Structure 1
């Protein structure tokens, strides 16, 4: 197993739920026709070997994710939830299309003491792939932050009744220092509840 393959498998075990082939190829292989072909062959091998599991799903087109739609820190005024909701809703264009995605396989789960759960909810595929997109953006631009990324499934054991953000960035002491959320077509009330949750805990947040 190469270093990039190990990083891919570990990301699925500890950071994100799923990843598309396009996300894999852009992140870990050269952005050329040859690079994409090599990625396709190697990923097929990782599936055969049990490191990854492959699924066919429907997903909305990926958004660019150039940066957060909203950034808040303790002491800042509350954002305009109505305006933010409109921005989040209006950016969705196009229709769902078939897509190949990958999750951690049985051997990958065993290596990193993770759970091989497959696709937990097909309705969340678009959301989960965008959370992966945020993680990969940090991996490229802020690798230290990506290293401190704790995915939702890693911190929600025993907390099913609590509000669960998509990810937390933790500090040296292991305590949360930033909340990461991908804003789907969120109504204003959901944004307000998320904001109030972070305010009560004095946690800075980013909504992408």
Structure 2
């Protein structure tokens, strides 16, 4: 057994010898680290690892040979810059009400591209302007956070804990829903890499899964000594994790957990607090 570039073991079978370096890198990405990825996300990962080649051409060949599934889907894909909230065990508890509101605003603006939203020209939430959902939204201007209803604007107040980071940059022109080519692994790819082919089981989670991939692309774990396990790999390798499985774990080569990673959906304060309670022995990030 040999360690590949992502840090896990790989069998050198006759079948894998017929796979090129760029093809194997893509298959490992889709079976160990993320459930699904767009062409541009895969191209960015290849560029970061200095793997030459045009992703779309390789993906078409992998589809033809039955290694992956590929479909044009109308989705919004965020372009992330940094976590919304980073926390370590030596820090005070974050303000989850504010974080829940930030996630709510981001979620309700994705795919709508409203000119009256609270985003700046550079795609950031404007800290000087209250961030209320635009009038085009058919949802309430409040977000439920446990038993209470939080109606605070998502501006940066002086009483926020140091653990609360600034809002993740989301380029609105990239986040709007439009048809994109989405790729995910076929079962035989998972067999080759000893990974998991999991996205097809939960197709309604596609935008969350692509958000997790955006988190992977931005954090660039493949440029360090850590190993990124996607959610399905976490379920398999950490049998003790029964509830609140995170989107990813960063581990060392002995599978010691270094950091917990989560791409935030429209999470309530209670859900965020439950996540913190489960994973507070470890540093975590919510993007």
Q: TM-score range by the shorter chain?
A: 0.7 to 0.9
Matches within 5 A, 1:1-208: 1-28=19-46, 38-59=54-75, 61-92=76-107, 93=109, 94-95=111-112, 96-139=177-220, 143-144=223-224, 147-157=226-236, 161-199=242-280, 202-208=281-287
- Structure 2: runs of 5 or more not aligned: 1-18, 113-176
Aligned counterparts of 1:161 and 1:9: Cα–Cα separation in 2: 27
Shift of 1:41: 2.5
Q: Deviations over 1:114-158 (max 9, x none)?
A: 34445222221011011111112233x76125x511111012145
Secondary structure of 2:224 counterpart? helix
Q: Is the 8 A contact 1:20 1:102 kept in 2?
A: yes
CA contact (8 A) 1:19 1:129 kept: yes
DSSP-derived class of the 1:47 partner: helix
Task: Find the aligned partners of 1:44 and 1:108 in 2 and give their Cα distance.
Answer: 15
- Higher-Rg structure is 2
Alignment: residue pair count: 198
Question: Normalized against structure 1, the TM-score is what?
Answer: 0.84
Q: 1:183 to 1:75 in 2, by over 3 A?
A: same
Q: Judging by fraction of residues, say which structure has more helix.
A: 1
Query: CA contact under 8 A between 2:260 and 2:284: conserved in structure 1?
Result: yes
C-alpha distance in 1 between matches for 2:205 and 2:187 = 22
**Unmatched tracts of structure 1, length 5 or more:** none
Q: 1:17 to 1:159 in 2, by over 3 A?
A: farther
Are the counterparts in 2 of residues 27 and 136 from structure 1 also a CA contact under 8 Å? yes
Residue aligned with 2:260, SS = strand
Q: In the aligned structure 2, how far is the partner of 1:87 from the partner of 1:205?
A: 17
**Partner of 1:50: helix, strand, or coil?**
coil
* Superposed CA RMSD: 2.4
Q: TM-score, with normalisation over the residues of structure 2?
A: 0.62
